[in-house]
Every structure is written in structure tokens, then in C-alpha cells.
Structure 1
Amino acid sequence: MPTYTGISSEAFRHPLDRQAEQALRNLPGFDLIARKFVEFIYERPQLVYLMGNTIQVGPRQYSTIYQMFRECLRDLDIYPEPTLFVSQNPQANSYALGQENPYIVINTGILDLLDEAEIRVVLAHELGHIKCGHTILIQ
């Protein structure tokens, strides 16, 4: 996969995504309310849960997935590195949350179903949500 040093989310955002986000952000107080809502209702409680009930991916835990994740971070020029968790869950799902300290959760259901190239796509997809700032526009 090529590396896109300095890539902006504007390089791959759909015009309707850009338009919908702008409409929301034009609402007075939306950014503050959305950020605080996600932070206190989803992000913090979920992060505490994840630290106790999932595996944080790293060089010694799920090292192959961590290497793929690091390559996606490099290729999409994302810094700082979000935290990646693997959840023991048969449902094929993944998601990204967090503004100040973003993180990604990928369920074992996806790992069981997909090959390495497809897992890279899932990781890049979730990283795209972080890069585009979608993590406050959830729910």
C-alpha cells in the first residue's frame, strides 16, 4: 500500500459527508455539546470497560495485527497512534471512539472471518473515522 505523507481527510471524504458535517457544526454550540456528550456518555466509560475486559493490541499482544495497524497509521499519516483493542465477541464489528485519546475496537468475530488484506481495510476504515473527526458524530 502506498504511503500518503501529509494526507488530509479532505482527500478522501465524500462531498455529502462534508456537507452533512458542516450543517451539524453550523448549529450553535454543537461542537461543545457533542464532544462532551460523547466524552462522558461513551468514551470514558467505554475506555474503562475496555481496559479491564479486552486485550490492548501491541508488539507482544496480537503482534501481526499490530504490525498491520502500524502500517495503516504510517500509510494514512495518522499521529498520535490511537489505541487498538481486540474484544472477545463473535459479532463481526469494529468501531472508533475518542477525541483526545482515540481508540479502535475490533471484535474477534471479524478476525475469524476476514483475511489479512480485509482486516487492513477494516483498520483503515476505522482510522479514516478518526482522521475525519467522525468520532463525535456517532450514535
Structure 2
Amino acid sequence: MSGDDDLPVPGYVLKELDPNVLRHPADKAATAALSTIPGVNRIVRMLIELGYERALRQQLLASSVRLSLQQLPDVYDRHRSAYTTLDLRTTPELYLAEHPRSNAMTVGSQEPLVLVHSRLVEGLDAQQQRVVFAHEAAHVMCDHVLYGTVLQIVLRLSGGLLSKSLPTALPFIAIQNALLEWSRAAELTCDRIAALAVRDPLLVCKTLMSLAAGTASDRLDLGAFLAQADDFGKRSRGLPGTWTKINLQLGGTHPLSVQRAHELMDWVKSGDYERIRDGVYPKRGQEDPNVREEAKAAADHYREKFQGAFKDVAGQAEGAAKSIGDWLNKNLGDKN
């Protein structure tokens, strides 16, 4: 298939859509907080320069199958259509790996690739797969891939450090936790973009429901799931609910599926989804001042909640950054 056959609606393309208009306030706050931790960007650069991104890429390529028009073309077309709809010029390579857990990731700071697990492809129908591929395309669109790649590297390195009980393990965990906070916030932005790409926020929620339950969505009730999401949102208000939610998410790269559904539907109810879907949005580099001010106000409000959770992590990460950088140079620099 090609051209309009790739699109959820013939001719539907979000031409030159500025992703900053869609960023969840938590994404904005987390990215700003992460970038202010002294030493974190130094570690990011070092991990790339020392060859860890290249090693991660080789590991993924060696244990998966590249999809194409000759290899599972129907799945590949769903992946490719996401980039057409979001008006992205380049479509990353797509790889499929055997894995019992449903997941997908996009890595590669300079040349992204998308990896999906077999469980995800087997467990989701064609339209739900479109949601996943649009979500991954959103990471590329929003320039999430650099920090996302480094997070995958850090997760692998920290596991090895902990198993060897090295002194650097605890500082590394601080950096890991800071990146995880950022990652969970970035996911909320990508859910919004996925909803626009498939023109159906309820389909995104149905996909989240299926992934959370680990079973086909036709065996579940979407209305009951959305009621559960609304109940979760009400119970999460206030300090006790906020900290319960934070503790439930510790160590995860993604927010809770029920929370994601709640956040997405709250955004839909604001009217932004329909407005952007219908083509009323600023183009890249031409952000609407009114939208910018509204987004800033929302981000400022959210930052008060977010920084409470991020404060301790950021403090640890700041103190750890120099020692980790020195340790990387001394112990890992000559191994790549």
C-alpha cells in the first residue's frame, strides 16, 4: 500500500504540526528539570561518545528481524503510515523481536529505529497497532529519542553495576530515576499525538486497556475502563493521592495505563483534540501566542506538583553526575 491507503482517512495529514503545541505540561516540566541538573548532559554525551548507543543498536539488530514490504508488509505499512500522517520526512527502520512482554521502543539519537515485541503485534489488532506506531513516531517528532536512548543504556548499565555491587551503582540509580521521571512524562505527550494520528482518542484508550489487561479488547468493556480511569483521577487528587501514584510508578518507564487514559481524556475534553484534528493549529516555528500562554500557565501549575517528586531525585543526580562521569572515563572508556 502507499499514499492515501496508508492514512486513517484519505488525505488526512497533520501538515507541519508543531509538536510543542501538544506537549503535556508534565513533559515540559520534566524536560526543563532534567536539563538543569548539572552533569546530566555531560553523561549523556559521554555514553554516546563511548559507543554505548552503537552497542545498544547492535544488540537490538542482532536479536530481531527487520520488517519491510517483503517482511510482514501489513505491519510495516501501519508503521510507515504514522510518519506520513504526522508529516515526517523520514521513516525509521522497524524491527520485530520475540518477547513475552508487550512493548515498543524508539532508540538512536542520530538515526532512530523502532523495535516492537512479538507479544504486542500478536496481541493487538490492526487499528491498535496503528496507535502504537503513531505513539513511537511521536517520540521522533518530539525529539525524545536522545534521552530515551540514554535511558535504555543506563537501565542496562545500572543492572550490571548492581549485580557487581560496585560503589557507582547508587549514583547511577539517581541518574536512572531522573531519566525515568522524564520518560513517564514524555509518554503523556505521545498519547496525545497518537490520538490525533489515528483520529480516535477512544482507540488509544482501548489500546491502553488491552495492554494493561494483557488480553484482547473485544473481551473487555471500554466504558468500564474509562469509568475506572475517571475514578483513578479523582482519587489521585491531593498530596496523599499524588504520592501514592508516584510510588506505584517508581522504576517504570511508562505511566500507569489507567492514568494515561485519564490524562488523555482530560485533554480531549479541553477541546484541543478536535481543534487540532480539524486543522486549527500553529505550524512549526509559528506557535500561536495564545496557545503558548495557555501552555505556560498549565506547565507552571503542573510544575509545582512535579517538582515535589523530582526534587530528591534531582538532588541525588546532581551530586552523582561528576563521579559517574569520572567512573565512565576510567572503567568503560577503553572497552568500546
Common fold by TM > 0.5 = yes
Per the TM alignment, residue 135 of structure 1 is displaced from its structure 2 partner at its CA by 2.1
Distance verdict in 2 for CA 1:35–1:74, change over 3 Å: farther
Q: For structure 2, which runs of at least 5 residues remain unmatched after alignment?
A: 1-7, 152-336
| d(CA) in 2 for partners of 1:38, 1:136 | 9
Give the aligned residue type for 1:20: A
Partner of 1:83: 93
Query: What is the alpha-carbon distance in structure 1 between the residues aligned to residue 29 and residue 43 of structure 2?
Result: 20
User: SS state of the match for residue 85, structure 1?
Assistant: strand
User: 1:60 is aligned with what amino acid?
Assistant: Q
SS at match of 1:86: strand
1:54 CA drift (Å)? 1.0
**Corresponding pairs, count:** 138
Post-superposition offset of 1:13: 1.2
Choose between structure 1 and 2: higher helix proportion: 2
Match of 1:105 in 2: 115
C-alpha distance in structure 1 between counterparts of 2:46 and 2:88, whole Å: 23
User: In structure 2, what is the equivalent of residue 48 of structure 1?
Assistant: 58
Secondary structure of the residue that 2:13 maps to in structure 1? coil
Whichever of the two has the greater Rg, that structure is 2
Aligned to 2:22: 12
Q: CA deviation at 1:80?
A: 2.0
CA contact (8 A) 1:38 1:136 kept: no
Q: Contact 2:57–2:108 (CA<8 Å) still a contact in 1?
A: no
Deviations 1:44-88 (A, max 9, x none): 112212322211111111100111111111101223221111112
1:94 aligns with 2:101: no
Q: Which residue of 2 aligns with 1:34?
A: 44
Q: Which residue of 2 aligns with 1:71?
A: 81
Q: Which has the higher strand share?
A: 1
1:97 touches 1:130 (CA, 8 Å); kept in 2? no
Cα distance in 2 for partners of 1:127, 1:87 equals 18
- TM-score, L = length of structure 2: 0.38
Mean Cα deviation higher: 100-109 or 48-57: 48-57
Percent identity for Structure 1 against Structure 2: 27
CA contact (8 A) 2:66 2:95 kept: yes
Tell me how large the CA RMSD over aligned residues is: 1.9
Whole-angstrom CA distance in 2 between matches of 1:36 and 1:121: 34
Partner of residue 58 from structure 1, selected from 68, 84, 105: 68
